[in-house]
Amino acid sequence: MPIVSTQHMDVAAGCLPTHQLLNVDGKRIPDEELDHHLKELKEADLADFLRDMIVLRRMDNEATALQRQGQLGLWAPLLGQEAAQIGSVRATENDDFIFPSYREHGVAWARGVQAEDLLSVWRGAQASGWDPNEVNIACQQIVIGSQALHAAGYGMGIKFDGGKQVSVAYFGDGATSQGDVNEAMIFAASYQAPVLFFCQNNQWAISEPVALQSRTQIADRAHGFGLKTWRVDGNDILAVYAATKAALAHARHGLGPTFIEAVTYRMGSHTTADDPTRYRKAEQLEEWKAKDPIDRLVKYLHELGADVQSYQQRAENAADDMAAKLRAAITSMEDPQAEELFTNVYAEEHEPTQRSAKQYLDYLADFEGGE
């Protein structure tokens, strides 16, 4: 699906324009609706965006390599989706609460989750890698779309309490075909709760193309529920940031829930257990390589006359530091003890859980000493 400027698009009936503020050549495109959300951005902020995306891509590469080396059980790559994640999360306030899916590694990292804590779950060393209340982001959700209901409920709580925060749910295009996501939008719209539903349309629901599950734009589905909706070029970090700012402001001021469809592309596999060459063409991959979000921002910084080389070097140094720390932590991480499987299931002592723990440990004891 092509990305075009809102100034050069004939919008079909029922279809939203796709906002693009930065084209593939790094040229700035004016956007009457979203430009004012970029007024406070400085060159230093753009340099930070570049650093974030470069560090995130390195983390993704390291995690994939660690999985191939047997250090992780599985990994869900995000290659190509760096702008969608960094641009959106950097637009949030610290007290906004985020509910991610299993691919929002960059969102969690940008919120302060350490890379090694993020990967510890994928290694199987921990059931959850961080305390959600310390960083205002829930642990990653594997069940497709279920986090949207959590976000809707949290948003309803914000409204009932009279708060100014926004609850943010991340999911992919495939999740919009799940009942949980649709029900979450119904509840959020019914209660006019401050919720932002952020869909990263990476074109593939595992091996099924988005055109198979949706005969129209994903954003049109949310519009049908009465949500204020934006559709953006998900590889354009400026468009993602500005649209997220707009969506958060709308929800924060009591105007109801919002929805963003960020049109991007999953350059890697669905997970490291997947072989994408079996269902997608190499030509499509090459087409999207030309839309790389990091290259696009680098070109824009050159357009601004920035010292891009120094920004890139700073980013590479940060990526090297993260990678060294990550690899050292993961390769020396101890496996959890069997009894940890039963801890933190309930806040208080729970007799059935204690009984199950004893039975399981007795079962394991039968294997000790070769018996």
The set of catalytic residues is: 266, 270, 279
CB atoms within 10 A of CB 61: 15
Residue 19: alpha-carbon gap to chain centroid: 19
Q: Going by C-beta distance under 8 Å and a sequence separation of 6 or more, which residues neighbour residue 277?
A: none
CA distance linking residue 143 with residue 16, whole number of Å: 29
Question: In the numeric block, which tokens belong to residue 252?
Answer: 């924060």
Residues 241 and 37 sit within 8 Å (Cβ to Cβ): yes
CA distances from 55 to 31, 212, 325 (A): 29, 34, 13
Query: What is the residue whose two structure tokens read 């100034």?
Result: 7
